[in-house]
Structure 1
Amino acid sequence: MTAGAPFPEDPTFLGRLDQLHADLTRHSAYDLGFPGATDLPDMTAVSRFERLLLNNVGHPYAAGGSYRLHTKIVEHEVVQFVADLVDAPLDNRHGYVTTGSTESTLWALWQARRHLPGAAVFASTAAHYSVAKNAELLGLPLHLIPADTRGEIRYDALRAAVTEHRRRRRGAGAVVIATIGTTMTEAVDDAALIDKTLALAGVDPGQRWIHADAALAGIPLALCDPLSRPGFTFADGVHSFAVSGHKFLATPFPCGIVVALADRHTGRGSITYTAAPDSTITGSRSGHAPLWLWYLLRYWGLPGLRRRAIAARDLAAYTERQLHDIGWPAWRAQEHAFTVVFPRPPQHLLDRWPLATDEHGNAHVVCMPGKTRDLIDRFVADLAHAITGAVSLPKTVAC
Structure 2
Amino acid sequence: MSLVSAVPDDPTMPGRLDQLHRALIEHGRFDLGFPGATDLPDMTAVSRFDPILLNNVGHPFATSGAYRLHTKHLEYEVIGFFADLFEAPLNNRHGYVTSGGSESTLWALWQARRQLPAAWVFTSSAAHYSVAKAAELLRMRVQTIPTDARGEMRYDLLHAAVERQHRRRRGTGIIVVASVGTTMTEAVDDVARIGDALDAAGVEPEQRWIHADAALAGIPLALVDRDLRPAFTFPAGAHSIAISGHKFLATPFPCGVVVALADRHTGRGDITYTATADSTISGSRSGHAPLWLWYLLRHWGRPGLRDRAEAARDLAAYAEQQLRRIGWPAWRAQKHAFTVVFPRPPQSLLDRWPLATDGRNDAHVVCMPGKTRALIDRFVDDLSLSVSEPDEMPEALAC
Distance between the aligned counterparts of 2:11 and 2:215, measured in 1?
42
Provide the residue aligned with 1:7 in structure 2.
none
1:259-278 paired onto structure 2 within 5 Å: 259-278=259-278
Any conservation in 1 of the 2:344–2:360 contact (CA below 8 Å)?
A: no
Distance between the aligned counterparts of 1:170 and 1:91, measured in 2?
31
Distance between the aligned counterparts of 1:301 and 1:390, measured in 2?
49
Aligned to 1:167, the other structure's residue is in SS state: helix
Any conservation in 2 of the 1:327–1:393 contact (CA below 8 Å)?
A: no
Any conservation in 2 of the 1:343–1:394 contact (CA below 8 Å)?
A: no
Provide the residue aligned with 2:340 in structure 1.
340
- The CA deviation at 1:163 is 1.0
Uncovered stretches (5+) of structure 2, i.e. residues with no partner: 1-9
Aligned to 2:285, the other structure's residue is in SS state: coil
Provide the residue aligned with 1:363 in structure 2.
363
Distance between the aligned counterparts of 2:160 and 2:217, measured in 1?
28
Aligned to 2:364, the other structure's residue is in SS state: strand
Provide the residue aligned with 2:83 in structure 1.
83
Provide the residue aligned with 1:123 in structure 2.
123
Distance between the aligned counterparts of 2:46 and 2:138, measured in 1?
37
Distance between the aligned counterparts of 1:166 and 1:283, measured in 2?
35
Q: Deviations over 1:132-191 (max 9, x none)?
A: 000000011100000111000000111111111112212221100000000000000000
* TM, length-normalised to structure 2: 0.95
Provide the residue aligned with 2:286 in structure 1.
286
1:62-211 paired onto structure 2 within 5 Å: 62-211=62-211
Greater mean deviation of Cα atoms: 323-332 or 164-173: 164-173
Question: What do you get for the CA RMSD once the two structures are aligned?
Answer: 1.2
Distance between the aligned counterparts of 2:133 and 2:236, measured in 1?
27
Any conservation in 2 of the 1:329–1:394 contact (CA below 8 Å)?
A: no
Provide the residue aligned with 2:57 in structure 1.
57
| Matched AA of 1:237 | G
Aligned to 2:358, the other structure's residue is in SS state: coil
| Deviating 4+ runs (over 3 angstroms) | 391-396
Distance between the aligned counterparts of 1:186 and 1:393, measured in 2?
23
- The CA deviation at 1:64 is 0.7
- The CA deviation at 1:393 is 6.1
| Matched AA of 2:86 | V
Distance between the aligned counterparts of 1:384 and 1:369, measured in 2?
25
- The CA deviation at 1:394 is 5.3
Distance between the aligned counterparts of 2:121 and 2:360, measured in 1?
25
Aligned to 1:246, the other structure's residue is in SS state: coil
| Matched AA of 1:96 | Y
Provide the residue aligned with 1:312 in structure 2.
312
Aligned to 1:197, the other structure's residue is in SS state: helix
Greater mean deviation of Cα atoms: 358-367 or 95-104: 358-367
Distance between the aligned counterparts of 2:34 and 2:205, measured in 1?
37
Q: Is residue 2:40 matched to residue 1:45?
A: no
* TM, length-normalised to structure 1: 0.95
Distance between the aligned counterparts of 1:201 and 1:320, measured in 2?
39
- The CA deviation at 1:335 is 0.1
Change (3 A) 1:224 1:395: farther
Provide the residue aligned with 1:241 in structure 2.
241
Any conservation in 1 of the 2:345–2:394 contact (CA below 8 Å)?
A: no
Provide the residue aligned with 1:6 in structure 2.
none
Q: Deviations over 1:54-109 (max 9, x none)?
A: 00001000011010000000000000001101110000000000000100000000
Identical amino acids, percent of aligned pairs? 72
Uncovered stretches (5+) of structure 1, i.e. residues with no partner: 1-9
Distance between the aligned counterparts of 1:360 and 1:11, measured in 2?
39
Count of residue correspondences: 387
